[in-house]
Amino acid sequence: MNIQYKIIYLLLMGILMFLSSCNDFLDREPLDKITPEAYFNNVNDLAAYSIKQYGFSTYSGFNLSILKDDDNTDNQTASSGNTGLWVPGEKRTATSGGAWDFANIRKINYFFEQVLPKYKAGKLSGDEKMIKHYIGEMYFLRAFNYFGKLVTLGDFPIITTTLPDQKDVLMEASKRQPRNRVARFILEDLDQAIDLMSLTTANGKNRLTKNVALLFKSRVALYEATWLKYHRNTNRVPGGPGWPGADMDYNAGFVIDIDEEVSFFLTEAMKAAEKVADVVPLTQNTGIYNPVDEKPYNWNPYFEMFSAIDMEPIDEVLFWRAYDKSLGVAHAISTYLAKGGGNMGYTRSMVDAFLMKNGLPIYSSGSEYAGDKTLEAVKKGRDDRLQLFVAAPDDCMKLGPVKTFGPPVILEAEATRCPTGYAVRKFLTYDPDQIGSGSGTINTYGCLIFRGVEAYLNYIEACYEKNGRLDAKAVKYWKAIRQRAGVSDDIDATVAATDLSQEDDWGRYSAGQLIDPVLFNIRRERRIELMSESTRMRDLKRWRALDQVQNYQIEGFNLWGGELEKLYVDTKGNSLLIPTGTPNKQPNVSNKEESGTYLRVNQIVKTNNLLYNGYTWSQVNYLEPIAAIHFITTSSNPDDVETSTIYQNPGWSKIANESAIKE
């Protein structure tokens, strides 16, 4: 196909896809009669259109879905890792697709073009308060979409209108804006959302609210502040040495004051976070670790918050998704968790991060720490979040004939295996109707999307990053989190006992340098409180905490160093464990001689295993490559991608299927 015709074809297909998606949604009249004038005339039209654009990642299908988003970090892992992320040279520039996409943004801009003139002219019918709310939702959703671009790609075009099918116009609009300007644009949209949105809606917390917008604003602002602070003087920050945007004439004269930008974003993060944290209480932890008297509910609200069928009454829950099997909307989270695996397990690093109840790290606790020769010992006297959310053999797995987790399922088929031996109990339900004896997408409890504790954590971190100390409000928030976790709230004692050389936590670094113990413990608290909630990699990237990850081995429990190996025997007492290197047998665990006593997930199979020597980070992976097709479609000369109005992210090629130019 001639390249010019290919460009026109792609543009036309994008327009047709947009119109098709609108028509799928606005189908109350025959398709041949749909016009913008027939819709966006009343509050119900706005409500229906905006909810169609939600698109939040939630539970779906027969899998663990978003619970696995923290895989490929030091928190948790599957049986095999992401070679494109952890093996230099394996990831390549895609031919097409990727994050460089404007479909959702275009739909939102279309809404504004149709609705805002009618709103300003007073031509929309219905409840004025809710008209404003749904317009506010759309500002939130544009901000949400743009934040995804900021995290993935950094610099990005700022587009607020739907564009005509004219190549010169589209090329001009494709020019990338420096990431700090994109972040400020996101905050501006969120300010609009906060101003317009209500604290409550008739649909409860299944719809966005003002507090969600405030919490999200604190997330965005904290992200950009710490990215600019820790990536400064690199090509990943506008104005830094080698920043590819400097080669574009439209960035001529660009100047950025990093310190001023960091201060601005940290201030905005604190202001937004405290407005949520001051009014949203934390859910109670009763200190009970398993169901009482075989009753699935009302034994520990903190544990049950993550698998409540109705999350609406829970103050800490700000936004959630409801499920209803009768409508064909269900998931399979507990279907997997109640088998003890689901091809997901917490790492030794994650488990070792939990403090003792006295607030001290395990290495500073003397005889208080019982060691890790058994899983019961690992949990003894530790943070209630370890007790509640990481399974030991005697912990309740489900009510009924099979009551406990038993030995970790490290040898089972991959789909049900716990690859580290540290099984996940967070998000599990004990409701027999949710577990059942069969399999399938039978779970109908809610999916938590935003919860208030993040505002506490965002404020604490932003406060310390901005001021180098914690103010009274930050200390108050931190103590509340620690008290809820059943851990001493003597933060100073924790900091004094912290030895970063004994911490196996990627978050102890920024830009290859150790951070101070206070900041580390702030990051530790965030890591533990939000585990398996899709935050870890995003945090590690903004902290620039991955530079030092070289040949890092993901480890699980202490298989060979205590009592755990004795759990894996057949009926005759013969070991079921087959270490790596066993002649004429397929291995199922790592061997003690080469890998040490801890189970190493990536050192079980050696043949054709690119991760056998561990995880090695390439700095190019802090940002994703833009697919090759987008340089062709934005080039004045389609045969020369160097005439494109956009630039590739640092280190990546503009040519399809080429690996990074430099690691």
For the residues of 353-414, what is the DSSP string, one character each?
Answer: TSPBTTS--GGGSGGGS--SSSHHHHHTTB-HHHHHHB--TTSB--SSS--B--S---SS-T
DSSP state at residue 95: S
Token readout for 369 is 């720490």
Cα angle for residues 324, 328, 331 (degrees, 5° grid): 70
Strand, helix or coil at 327?
Answer: helix
Say if residue 329 is exposed, middle or buried (CB neighbours under 10 Å; 0-12, 13-18, 19+).
Answer: middle
- From residue 519, give the alpha-carbon distance in Å to each of 196, 259, 543: 35, 19, 11
Determine contact, residues 534/69, Cβ cutoff 8 Å: yes
CA-to-CA distance for 452 and 277, rounded, in angstroms?
A: 7
Strand, helix or coil at 439?
Answer: coil
Q: Per residue in 573-583, pLDDT tens?
A: 999 999 999 99
Question: From the centroid of its chain, how far is CA 148?
Answer: 11
Residues counted in the chain:
663
Token readout for 547 is 């530079």
Q: Which residues of the chain have pLDDT under 50?
A: 1-34
**In this structure, how many other beta carbons lie within 10 angstroms of the beta carbon of residue 468?**
10
Determine contact, residues 280/315, Cβ cutoff 8 Å: yes
Token readout for 321 is 């998704």
Q: Nearest-CA neighbor of 320 among 201, 205, 453?
A: 205
DSSP state at residue 233: T
CA-to-CA distance for 26 and 22, rounded, in angstroms?
A: 6
Determine contact, residues 301/284, Cβ cutoff 8 Å: yes
Query: What Rg value do the Cα atoms of the chain yield, rounded?
Result: 26
DSSP state at residue 201: -
Cα angle for residues 419, 420, 426 (degrees, 5° grid): 95
Element (H, E) at 524: helix 517-529
Q: Per residue in 371-413, pLDDT tens?
A: 999 999 999 999 999 999 999 999 999 887 768 999 999 999 9
CA-to-CA distance for 579 and 603, rounded, in angstroms?
A: 10
Element (H, E) at 302: helix 301-305
The gap between the terminal CA atoms of the chain, to the nearest Å, is 35
Determine contact, residues 447/429, Cβ cutoff 8 Å: no
CA-to-CA distance for 473 and 463, rounded, in angstroms?
A: 9
pLDDT score of 661? 83
Determine contact, residues 150/183, Cβ cutoff 8 Å: yes
Token readout for 75 is 């928190």
pLDDT score of 209? 98
φ/ψ of residue 321, rounded to 5: -110, 135
pLDDT score of 437? 54
